[in-house]
Amino acid sequence: MKFIKTLFVVLFFVGLSTPAFTQVSLVPASHQVYEWLHLQRVKGNITNYSYETLPLTRKQILKYLRELENSSTLNSIDSELLRWYIQEFSPEQLVRDSRNTYTTGLKRPLKDVVKEKVDLLFSSKEPHYFVFNSDSIQWAVDYFTYAGALSANVPDQNIDGSSALIYRAIRTYGTIYDRIGAHLEIFNPTVDEAGLLRYHPEWGQTFDGRRIGERSTLFAEAYATFQYKQLGIHIGNGDLKYGTKGSEAQILRQEAGNFDWFRINFDTKYFQYTFIHGALKTETVTVDVDGYPGVRSRISPERWFALRRFQITPAKWISMAFTESLTYSNRPAELAYANPLLPLRFGEYETLDKDNPIWFFEGNLRPINNLELYATIGVDDLLNFSDIFKTTGNRASEDAVISYQAGLNFTLPTSTLLNAEIIQFDPYFYTHWQFFNTYDELGSPLGASIGPNSRQYYLSVRQWLPWRSFIDVSVNRVKKGLNELDENGNLTLDVGGDLFEGQSPTDQVRLFAGDVHEWNELRVQLEIEPFRGLRLYGTFNKRIIDKGMQLNDFDGFYFGVEGNFYPGVIPFMGLFTR
């Protein structure tokens, strides 16, 4: 313990030795700048951008933006978006913004104050609520209000309605001495109809958002960082995104739900190493406390997640990575998995082979500008590598299960990104014979949401527009073998189609066995920001079941207006529609 304290003291004073204006706070993985930078990578305008390992710091993002300033191939849309993003992430701009915020100049006549703040809202400046600047500290505070609508139609759960959706939010971020960063966002969404929040892509993952009888919840993302040259030490509660992605990353998808994690990054031009150790959640139960008659306590099993990732980028047109992830439970944090140098597979052997490790091999290839090819193979309990090329039922062991992902990204001169992908998961992939070792966070899959015993074909088009705007349209076709159930919902045949049913010694692995379902999905996402402090966005989802009776059609929709302005202003009223 004394060694750890000494290490952090040394790191702290090393960080204080070179003050400068750079921002090292992390930016949530949901920020649109990551997708736009990926577009530029496919175009060949930037190199060494790791879209597969999010989130990044503001300093890292700004480095790529500065690299794009020297590009002569940006069209008018990309040039305007680049200007907006540099304004948002530039520390020099934050210094200028500090002179005119929603809390400066309030001692003047009311008429002048109101005019200045309204002009700020509809200007091209960054409309911060408060900014503090000094030689050693940069800090910003933003405030948001939102009004809109949330709608869902889920026949099997007797959900068919729409509701007003309102929230207020605060965001604060900053950097101290160029080395210590922090980022915090807090939201309190509220709807009129109980249970609807379950169908929001983010807030439906929260404690209250998942509950049928709740109309409101709290949602937060919080990150603390220490950055010194290539070394980053991060503590967070928020989204992580790891792996190649068309529809979803299969190692860690950013929509999985927030959990607490500790991360060490070491980044160079040609090599990147990541260590993550996190705490997962599960449902709580109320139990009697032994030795204390009448005393009860609410508990949940301890669950943990560990990840090691090694990525090399030998040239700007190619990158390769090996990732090993592992879930374990029912004991305190394991030192073998907290060691950033020990491979997880060796650690599992040291702990007597009782956990759930998975290996992922991935690669990105950009043979020409505007074209990117990518692939990932995930393996679990593989005895012979030749089994990767064999179908289920023909491998050396029934325990060997594999995931396959292959896709391409292609860009058009109009700032358009086209994606085509196929992804397939063998039965029992992500599962484990110990229930609490399942690859999930509070019931939500950590990896791809379609889960085991499935295949998906996916197509998407994203068109970027001026004003920090885009429209994204995607369609996918899914085939999935579900476990067979009787009329009362009891399991009659386990075919590896349920994330929470692990494989027993007698279970066979056969792709698409069981109750086969097939469906099509459509998703439309729109985001428009005509003024820097005013954002309109919405999402529409529709699922149509072609085959199978366990799943039903689904319609979901939300739309609204978000304003970044002084709290005393009445919130904008959104469009309330089905």
Tokens of 174: 């900053």
- Own/partner contacts of 280-288, CB < 8 Å, gap of 24 or more, are 280/304, 280/305, 280/327, 280/440, 280/441, 280/442, 281/441, 281/442, 282/436, 282/442, 282/443, 283/442, 283/443
302-322 mean pLDDT: 96
With a pLDDT cut of 90, the percent of the chain lying above it is 63
* Residues 183 and 142: beta-carbon distance below 8 Å: no
The pLDDT tens digits of the residues spanning 460-489 come to 999 999 989 999 999 999 999 999 999 888
List the one residue out of 425, 542, 408 whose CA is nearest residue 474: 542
* Residues 215 and 192: beta-carbon distance below 8 Å: yes
Q: Looking at residue 99, what DSSP letter applies?
A: T
Q: What are the domain boundaries of the chain?
A: 14-563
349 vs 219 pLDDT, higher one: 219
Average pLDDT over the chain, rounded to whole? 89
Q: How far apart are CA 262 and CA 8, in angstroms?
A: 14
149-169 mean pLDDT: 83
**How does residue 578 score in pLDDT terms, banded at 50, 70 and 90?**
very low
Would you state the torsion angle of the CA atoms of residues 516, 520, 521, 522, taken in this order, to the nearest 10 degrees?
180
The pLDDT tens digits of the residues spanning 392-436 come to 988 888 889 999 999 999 999 999 999 999 999 999 999 999 999
pLDDT of residue 565: 58
Q: Please list the residues that pair with 460 across neighbouring strands.
A: 419, 474
3-state secondary structure 408-447: EEEEECCCEEEEEEEEEECCCCCCCCCHHHCCEECCEECC
562 vs 420 pLDDT, higher one: 420
* Residues 223 and 34: beta-carbon distance below 8 Å: no
Tokens of 283: 């449902």
* Residues 97 and 125: beta-carbon distance below 8 Å: yes
3-state secondary structure 438-503: CCEECCEECCCCCCCCEEEEEEEEEEEECCCEEEEEEEEEEEEEECEECCCCCEEECCCCCCCCCC
376-398 mean pLDDT: 89
Tokens of 351: 């702990």
**How does residue 22 score in pLDDT terms, banded at 50, 70 and 90?**
confident
Tokens of 13: 């004073």
Burial 61-82 (b: 16+ CB within 10 A, else e): bbbbbebbeeeeebeebbebbb
For the cut 60, the answer to whether the pLDDT of residue 6 exceeds it is no
* The amino acid at 63: K
Q: Please list the residues that pair with 539 across neighbouring strands.
A: 525, 558
| CATH of 14-563 among 1.10.1040.10, 3.40.50.10330, 2.40.160.130, 3.90.550.10 | 2.40.160.130
For the cut 70, the answer to whether the pLDDT of residue 153 exceeds it is yes
10-32 mean pLDDT: 69
* Residues 564 and 534: beta-carbon distance below 8 Å: yes
DSSP string spanning 198-238? GGSTTGGGSTTTTSTT-SB--EEEEEEEEEETTEEEEEEEE
- Length of the chain measured in residues: 578
Q: For the ranges 209-223, 356-370, 559-573, which has the lowest average pLDDT?
A: 559-573
* Residues 145 and 553: beta-carbon distance below 8 Å: no
With a pLDDT cut of 70, the percent of the chain lying above it is 94
The CA angle 544-548-552, to the nearest 5 degrees, is 45
| Entry pTM | 0.92
Handedness of CA 257, 258, 259, 261 (dihedral sign): positive
Q: How far does CA 157 lie from the centroid of its chain?
A: 27
Q: Please list the residues that pair with 120 across neighbouring strands.
A: none
Find where tokens 């560990």 sit.
306
pLDDT of residue 175: 97
The pLDDT tens digits of the residues spanning 491-546 come to 999 999 999 999 988 888 999 999 999 999 999 999 999 888 788 989 999 999 99
Q: Residue 288 contacts by C-beta under 8 Å, 6 or more apart in sequence?
A: 295, 296
Q: Residue 431 contacts by C-beta under 8 Å, 6 or more apart in sequence?
A: 438, 439, 452, 496, 498, 499, 500, 501, 502, 503
The pLDDT tens digits of the residues spanning 109-142 come to 888 888 888 888 777 788 888 999 999 999 999 9
**How does residue 321 score in pLDDT terms, banded at 50, 70 and 90?**
very high
Q: Residue 567 contacts by C-beta under 8 Å, 6 or more apart in sequence?
A: 129, 143, 145, 168
13 vs 398 pLDDT, higher one: 398
List the one residue out of 445, 55, 427 whose CA is nearest residue 248: 445
**How does residue 351 score in pLDDT terms, banded at 50, 70 and 90?**
confident
> Phi and psi dihedrals of 371, rounded to 5?
-135, 130
Per DSSP, helices labelled H in 256-362 are 335-338, 344-350
> Phi and psi dihedrals of 295, rounded to 5?
-95, 130
Q: How far apart are CA 305 and CA 280, in angstroms?
A: 7
7 vs 441 pLDDT, higher one: 441
